[in-house]
Chains A and B, each alone.
Chain A
Amino acid sequence: MTVRNVDIAVLGAGPAGMAAALAAAGGGADTVLIERENHLGGILKQCVHDGFGLLRFGEKLSGPEYAGRFVHMVREAGLAVLTSTFVAAARHDSEESVLMLVDRSGVTELHAKAVVLATGCRERSARQVMIQGTRPAGVMTAGAAQYYVNVLGYLPTTRCVILGSGDIGLIMARRLTLEGAEVLGVFEAKSTPSGLSRNVAQCLDDFGIQLHLSRTVTRIFGDDRVEAVETAAVDEKMRPIAGTEERLTCDGVILSVGLIPENEVGEALGVPMDPVTKGPVMDQNGQTQVSGVFVCGNAAHVNDLVDYVTESGERAGAAAAAFVAGRRTHRLLPLMADSTVLLYAVPQFVDMDAPESGAVVYFRSGEELGVTVVEVTAGGETVARHRYQHLRPPEMERLEIDLNRIPVSAGSLNIGVESAAAAEMTS
């Protein structure tokens, strides 16, 4: 076994990890980027559709192009990269993290002063959805279908239904249709789609694919292979309504029922998780509650825009480099989201002693709202406010706050919707 010491280990070479590693190395730290797959790029390698990078590059790039630009930067910077490398075990000691890395040449014990977790997210699978019947071949997640079609070049179904209206499912409805499969419809148990409205428009409407809201798949038929499904309307409590069942003949069921941050290594390092975001509790620079362990991208919370993933990677990488360069004090104020209107807001804490005075808050609303003013208050003062044309749960919103505006006496920050009366006066 070899033992190796580095300043910073970045785990995962998707857009978050590549941005973090570039920023960490740019900050003067000896950095290594570790990826379990053969190639850099993360999930973007299989997202051949366009729409990436509008904020970052002002262009609508495909996933591989967006990733490719960062792969080129990683090469130009001469970063140390380990691909096909798994983290078999991890632990955190007081001054460092120790990662047991396994690759084809053997085991390496890597001692890192700081770790950046950029391990992305995984899809909720069939086991996590309540459907009766067997689990024959042909039931797969949308991401798996995307991998079959876009990487392996093989059509996993000729006639399918899509369960759940997440973005990957919508993208795959279009992709499978273009490749000659028949998509019988997208079934969403909730009364509003989970994916972005632009994806409903360009992936379903363009091809006349029906989106069935408040309707779900209740049963799957078939022994070895899917032969049919039963769909039914559901009530507000998501219970199937008797008499509304319909049987559809198909050979595939594509699941697009949500993503969960991937934090196995974070858990091994003892990082406390937020039960709502399913990612680590962190500050505005991705510092988790374990000193020297940072998180970014989809491992922190599920993002819908890769541009924000990159932004979070850059911040975490730079903060990790600063951490390695010298310790400083922290003063954490909790950021509390008004749960009656917001699904969540991150970061969970704002570090008032951070050197940069700008901090970015990301949030999602719990339901669809029209024109809404969202404000951040602290110590009785409004420190940031922004007026949104609409808020929808699928669309993560971004709000910048200036730490200099937070009163010294403030014990917490609160984010919520401005009261109607106040909105009236200021609009």
Chain B
Amino acid sequence: MRELTCIVCPNGCSLQVNQDVGPWSITGNLCPRGIEFALKELTNPTRTVCSTARTSFAAARRLPVRTRGEVPLVRVRSVMSEISRLVVDREVRMGDTLIENVAGTGIAVIATADLADLIEGEDCDGRPIRSSD
């Protein structure tokens, strides 16, 4: 019997997986995604990696990034080290691809913010984006 916490949604169901006899039995899930999660978790657990990348813009030192999909849990460290070597030198937008195939996982790393929005004083500098008067 294995106890797992489903991390697919905020409910965080505790799943009981019985692998002793015959087909695995999974209980405790409030929805079918829990079954899918448990099967994957016990064979090839995967995670989305979220981090930040260095930029060449002094005004926005870090750009938030993540893997577009999930990568094998065992590859998380290699994904992190490839992200840590990245330097963003153009004004990328939310969703833009930064690395096509990170650490050979076949998964892309994307920007999760518009770089222009992070730059201090970009829209503002005391001025409103658009004033009503």
A residues within 8 Å of B by Cβ? 4, 6, 30, 32, 38-39, 45, 48-51, 54, 60-65, 68, 71, 74-75, 78-84, 103-105, 149-153, 178-179, 196-198, 200-202, 205-206, 304-305, 389, 395
Query: B7: which A residues are within 8 A, CB to CB?
Result: 198, 201-202
Q: Assess whether A80 is in contact with B128, with CB atoms less than 8 Å apart.
A: yes
B residues within 8 Å of A by Cβ? 4-7, 9-14, 30, 47-52, 54, 61-62, 64-66, 73, 76, 80, 94, 112-114, 117-118, 120-126, 128-133
- Most chain-B CB neighbours within 10 Å: which of A39, A51, A54? A39
Q: Assess whether B130 is in contact with A78, with CB atoms less than 8 Å apart.
A: yes
Residue from the list A68, A84, A305 in contact with B124, Cβ < 8 A: A84
Query: A105: which B residues are within 8 A, CB to CB?
Result: 126
Closest to A207 in B: B76
Residue from the list A38, A65, A74, A103 in contact with B113, Cβ < 8 A: A65
Closest to A396 in B: B10
Which secondary structure characterizes the binding site on chain A?
mixed
Bound form: Cα–Cα A149–B84 in Å: 13
Total contacts A-B at CB 8 Å: 119
Residue from the list B6, B80, B113, B132 in contact with A68, Cβ < 8 A: B113
A64-B113, A198-B12, A389-B13 as given contacts; A83 in contact with B124, CB under 8 Å: yes
Q: Assess whether A54 is in contact with B126, with CB atoms less than 8 Å apart.
A: no
Give the top 9 A-B pairs by smallest Cβ distance, nearest first.
A104-B126, A80-B132, A201-B5, A198-B12, A64-B113, A197-B12, A48-B64, A83-B124, A153-B62
Bound form: Cα–Cα A72–B26 in Å: 42
Residue from the list A51, A71, A80 in contact with B10, Cβ < 8 A: A51
A38-B124, A48-B112, A389-B30 as given contacts; A64 in contact with B64, CB under 8 Å: yes
Residue from the list A54, A60, A71, A84 in contact with B117, Cβ < 8 A: A71
Residue from the list B62, B80, B94, B133 in contact with A150, Cβ < 8 A: B62
Bound form: Cα–Cα A321–B64 in Å: 35
Bound form: Cα–Cα A425–B131 in Å: 61
Q: Assess whether B5 is in contact with A62, with CB atoms less than 8 Å apart.
A: no
Bound form: Cα–Cα A153–B86 in Å: 13
Residue from the list B50, B62, B73, B80 in contact with A49, Cβ < 8 A: B50
Q: Can you list 29 A-B pairs with a CB-CB distance of less than 8 A?
A: A30-B132, A32-B132, A39-B122, A48-B64, A48-B112, A54-B10, A61-B112, A62-B64, A64-B113, A65-B113, A71-B117, A74-B129, A78-B130, A80-B132, A83-B128, A103-B126, A104-B126, A149-B52, A151-B62, A152-B62, A153-B52, A153-B54, A153-B62, A178-B49, A178-B80, A196-B10, A197-B14, A202-B7, A389-B30
